[in-house]
Amino acid sequence: MEGYHPSVDSAGGESGIPLHSPAMQPAHDDTALMLAYAGGEAVAFERLYALHKAGLYGFLHRQSPRTAWVDDVFQETWLAVVNARHDYRPTASFRTWLFGIARNKLIDRIRLKEPALLGDFLNEDDEDPLARVAGDSRQEPASRLEGKQAGQALDTALRALPAVQREVFLLREQADMSLEDIAALTGVPMETAKSRLRYAVAKLKATLAGVS
């Protein structure tokens, strides 16, 4: 969503769940770089791109229902940043703004290409997440998982998550966003975001326990 500026500015990490942050970067640095780019410094954009391209690409790669869409949505997201450079206001972290744009681009693509999948990516998960975790037939027996297969099992379990739960988990892991920012970005109450993250983590833990 271009011009989307969450009112909450947070560097993340305040929740009780310690998560890995591969793209950890002080929010004020991102904001300064974006403002510098809006002022005409192309090098500032290159720095921003280097800091966030992996996290954003990883998020889209695992959240997109079609792998073929990833490059397009990734490119559209960054070009939206370029075109909105003069409208950028540092009311929220750059990372939250960037992932918000990417999320909206992905939903637009789903709405355009495969609207049948749209319900999974919006806030329409009436199914009990725990029941789904327990009864997922696609989950392989833990005893068969060894070594590198653990990563594949985690990846498979991650893709088997409901889209909204996977989204919260990816935003937490890939973008190092706080639950508060995730709730604001996805447009759900804080408790809902927290619940989704808890359910996602529970299922993934169960997968890892089966491997070990």
**Where do contacts with another protein occur on this chain (CB under 8 A)?**
17-20, 22, 37, 40-42, 45-46, 49, 53-54, 57-58, 61, 70-72, 74-76, 78-79, 82-83, 85, 150-151, 154-155, 158, 173, 201, 204-205, 208
Is the CB of 6 or the CB of 106 nearer to another protein? Answer: 106
The enclosing H or E element of 112 equals: helix 94-113
CA distance 61 to 5: 24
To another protein, the closest distance from the beta carbon of 107 in angstroms equals 17
To another protein, the closest distance from the beta carbon of 60 in angstroms equals 9
To another protein, the closest distance from the beta carbon of 145 in angstroms equals 12
Buried b (16+ CB within 10 A) or exposed e, 33-70: bbbbbbeeeeebbebbeebbeebbbbbbbbbbbeeebb
Contacts of 125 (CB under 8 A, 6+ apart): 162, 163, 164, 165, 196
Is the CB of 26 or the CB of 39 nearer to another protein? Answer: 39
To another protein, the closest distance from the beta carbon of 186 in angstroms equals 19
CA distance 204 to 161: 9
Is the CB of 54 or the CB of 130 nearer to another protein? Answer: 54
Is the CB of 103 or the CB of 105 nearer to another protein? Answer: 105
